[in-house]
Amino acid sequence: MINGVLVIDKPAGMTSHDVVNRVRRILQEKSVGHLGTLDPMATGVLPLVLGKLTRLAQFYNASEKAYEGEIRFGFATDTYDAEGEPAGPASEARPSLEQVVLVAGRFCGRIMQTPPPFSAKKIGGVPAYKLARKKQEVELQPVEIEVKEFEILGMTEERVRFRARVSSGSYMRSIAHEMGQLLGMGAHLSALRRTAVAEFALSDARTLAEVERESQQGQSEALLIHLRRVLPALPAVTANDDSAAKIRAGRAVNLPEMSSAPRVKVFYGQNQMIAIATRVAGTLFHPRVVFI
């Protein structure tokens, strides 16, 4: 079993589930999960958790994400991106860069956003995209998101490049669509590249070809993120043999050097993360999640 975190640079045209299945076959590891779906059209950072480290996923449900992308003005699509069918007539009007920058400012901060009809959001237990594909009515409720950064980088004819940092659950497709509505000329997301998820960035990412090559050479472990970098907000402590044995048994342990931390990462050796532990009282910690 391979226990670790592997960041993939997802290619366009593959679903996140496709990538998971491909990595399962390459590494011959059944337990593989991802830390946030990326649309098939999009490329970039897709962190995967392997083996017993799949239990880490629960700590990334609210992870911030960063993107670079492109919005095309002139017509909307039913999916809000370049893979959809045109929705309504095309417009010959084009916005100025000043207009785009002004409208973009309305999407910064905490806003209410309606997810796209072609999304994994569920309606009565059924993913919205399944209903949308059958031309059934999709009525999703707005949710609050936070757009921490939305910078317009430049404009060429009808296309605008941007950079953004958003909270979990945000859809850049919806922002593109709503910008087109506000400008009265339709718009859709024409390109998207995810540059970061939580602490994982493009500099950490490996292509599927790299993963296959390293695996064939018996160097799979070299692909993984060093686990001391995972969940950087949590302090790390190294357990001795006695404490490690107690953690394996699910028993509380005394960690004298961690008297004030509410939660810690517990390691055995330099790179074997064995648990996430929660402080019970004083320096007594109980293993909340055990990875061994």
Report the distance separating Cα 276 and Cα 290, nearest Å.
Answer: 7
Torsion, CA 170, CA 171, CA 176, CA 178, rounded to 10: -70
78 part of the active site = no
Residues paired with 65 in a beta bridge: 166, 197
Q: What is the DSSP letter of 288?
A: E
| Active-site entry in 9, 39, 81, 204 | 39
Helices (H), the chain: 16-27, 97-104, 128-133, 172-183, 208-216, 241-248
Report the distance separating Cα 105 and Cα 99, nearest Å.
Answer: 10
Report the distance separating Cα 166 and Cα 159, nearest Å.
Answer: 21
Report the distance separating Cα 121 and Cα 138, nearest Å.
Answer: 10
Query: What are the residue numbers of the active site?
Result: 39
